[in-house]
Structure 1
């Protein structure tokens, strides 16, 4: 290359030298941008402890084409809260209501809604979720789904005042809670005179079936509602009425009642402890109920000189026959232990119950026996059903009551009472009694005045 240049004419060598010199000059001279850059403060001129301003381009200097979104480093990115929170507010969810069908299981319902087995598993891990394993046909389950179709909340009504809520938090786990509605208590009143039957009078007074049975249970220790009811008897009842959000939600407990049976007045008032007492503080509950079957009709009374309907012989009838349809439940008259449970040709299926040392009750001609010898039973517990086994003419319960081994009339025998209200509570209870009985008397006069108009 050097030899080639040396052979060139002198003028050519001069031109080449000029061109190379110009190129070298262009390379060595800085551009305008480089000069501007050098005019800014460089690292070699920075002094510790002194603040320097930075030239930040304005929005007008930055075009949309060359703008890059700044990325926040992991070290400076705000962390999500560690406390689990509800994934999505309930009012933003898409709700689906499902009515339980016969044969449905929770797994089948989740499949129909379109929810995965994994979601079902997470739901069942929540406290109280086992309640959902006891669903019944006709129950409603509400599913709240988020925007992605995932389950965020499930609600299930436990009663007219209580709802089970199972809610997902941000981690995907489910927790349970219960929502209670405020219940306003008002009082209702019913009164009636018995013309044909106690049941019919209760219906005409506007009582529900449950209230009629509760009233019979309340006075069932003093009155045999099968044998003792007479035309002209009357009753008055003060009971709770429940209202939710201003709407009637059903009747509640009896708070006070009065029953006049064959001229005898019986009164009962509910105490805060849940028991009912007479105005003098004695317990309405006694050791035995008068009748071990629901009130119906009686075909034979206690009669030691009765003529037997099958043999025609005069044989003592040391008990009461309660005529009722086969299958009618028979209840234990009191707490005790089953000492005999068997069958023989005369009594058919029978059960004997020992109550302490002095008392025994016998139940004969049962269709079936639900308790075995040696079992402990509670007052009012079902022990069998009415039948027509043994030497009988039709389905009925033969009931006997023995005191110290001697047959006594179950309707009239003096029964041991339960524990009375403690003396220290009598002053406060007396005020409640006066208030409740005054309410009954006032309502009775109002209704009497209305009937006279």
Structure 2
């Protein structure tokens, strides 16, 4: 038996040895080389070039970057004049990336200069005998995704737990800024949405392109939102609920994007600066210094000034019934008599006047009397035209079915 096993092993080793000899006998000239996969970018196949990457340094000019790569007789001054319609060479910014594409010849001949003023845009200067320049954009692609989350503390934390960035947070809060009070969210409130992400060159995340549909459930009530194009010629979109009712109202819920309320409208509050009890006829929104403050409705600026108590402030008359005021700004960005639109930036958050920290005090008047805006039944914006209701309901039907079937995140942990 032992001799039999030794014999079998010998035959197996002989077979392996012969097989290796056969492999070695394959002529080298019959092996087909594998060509590198093309990398198309900036209108070039980058595998054909040596790519030298760098960034614009402080003090660098267009000439500093390009002079060493021009052929004899060419000048950056002449090139700048010729390329003026393509891009302004005086606006090359420190820290922006640029690349030199060199041919893979014996001397590495420069073939092109590429400058990227933004993540999306790029400028190419072809370094040939006759200089040529053009401007283009990287290809954009979109990925359709779904997400859901449960509020345990704040909306931003809930969305960040689902891997959603600031752009998604702002998009969702922007959709519901007329209908949901984000300063009164409760533990257990939840959301789900169908959205599209934007990518540059299929790889670089460039924010949220759009939210097709969403449901925000707060205090047990679901609030639907569907993106609908109301004007195909002007490409105007708006959000409506499951019945076609607009989510917008005459007023925004707050003059700053998602943040927190530090003090509400009250007839008796201990003033942190004056150290005495007095009425606080406004709502304070704490926010980082420099946060944009927006007009909560269309109107005309009646005051844009400074006082010892208010600091930098702006007051807007919206119609014969409503007026609003915004206090303690770092900067005012509108003038008396100027017409402003809902959502337009009118200043930035600060702590000027009698304020202990950066915030905006938002004041609200109805028929000349200061009131708490959260206790007012405010008018809605224009509804969807009746002739478009049937088309709208038909359009959202599959979206509503899809988002209804999308499960809310399990909130057993609450």
Shorter-chain TM-score: what band? Answer: 0.7 to 0.9
Residue 188 (structure 1) aligned to one of 125, 136, 145: 145
Number of residue pairs the alignment of both structures matches: 359
CA shift in 2, pair 1:410/1:186, >3 Å? same
Distance 1:103 1:235, change over 3 A: farther
Q: Bigger CA drift: 352-361 or 139-148?
A: 139-148
Q: 2:327 — aligned with what?
A: 364
Answer yes or no: is the 8 Å Cα contact 2:138–2:201 preserved in 1: no
Contact 1:361–1:399 under 8 Å retained in 2: yes
CA distance in 2, matches of 1:202, 1:354: 36
The 5 A counterparts of 1:37-436 are: 96-111=52-67, 113=69, 118-119=75-76, 121-122=78-79, 124-126=81-83, 128-130=85-87, 132-144=89-101, 153-157=112-116, 163-167=122-126, 172=130, 174-176=132-134, 178=136, 181=139, 183=141, 185-226=142-183, 228-242=184-198, 247=203, 249-252=205-208, 253-272=210-229, 273-306=236-269, 310=274, 312-313=276-277, 315-436=278-399
Taking only aligned residues, the RMSD between alpha carbons, in angstroms, comes to 3.6
Structure with the higher fraction of residues in strand conformation:
2
Greater gyration radius: 1
Instruction: Work out whether residues 123 and 174 of structure 1, in 8 Å CA contact, stay in contact via their aligned partners in 2.
Output: no
Q: Is the 8 A contact 1:90 1:153 kept in 2?
A: no
* Residues 1:324 and 1:127: Cα distance change in structure 2 (over 3 Å): closer
Q: Please list the CA deviations of residues 370-403 of structure 1 after superposition, one character each: whole Å capped at 9, or x if unmatched.
A: 3333333333333333344434455432211112
User: TM-score, normalised to structure 1's length?
Assistant: 0.67
Residue deviations 1:34-59 (CA, integer Å, cap 9, x gap): xxxxxxxxxxxxxxxxxxxxxxxxxx
Query: Shift of residue 244 of structure 1?
Result: 6.5
Deviates more, 1:132-141 or 1:203-212: 132-141
Unmatched segments (≥5 aa) in structure 1: 1-87
8 Å CA contact retained: 1:370, 1:384: yes
- Report the Cα distance in structure 1 between the residues aligned to 2:312 and 2:268, rounded to whole angstroms: 25
Query: In the TM superposition, what is the alpha-carbon distance from 1:109 to its structure 2 partner?
Result: 1.3
- Residues 46-77 of structure 1, C-alpha deviations (whole Å, 9 max, x = no match): xxxxxxxxxxxxxxxxxxxxxxxxxxxxxxxx
The change in CA–CA distance for 1:155 and 1:428 in structure 2 (over 3 A counts) is farther
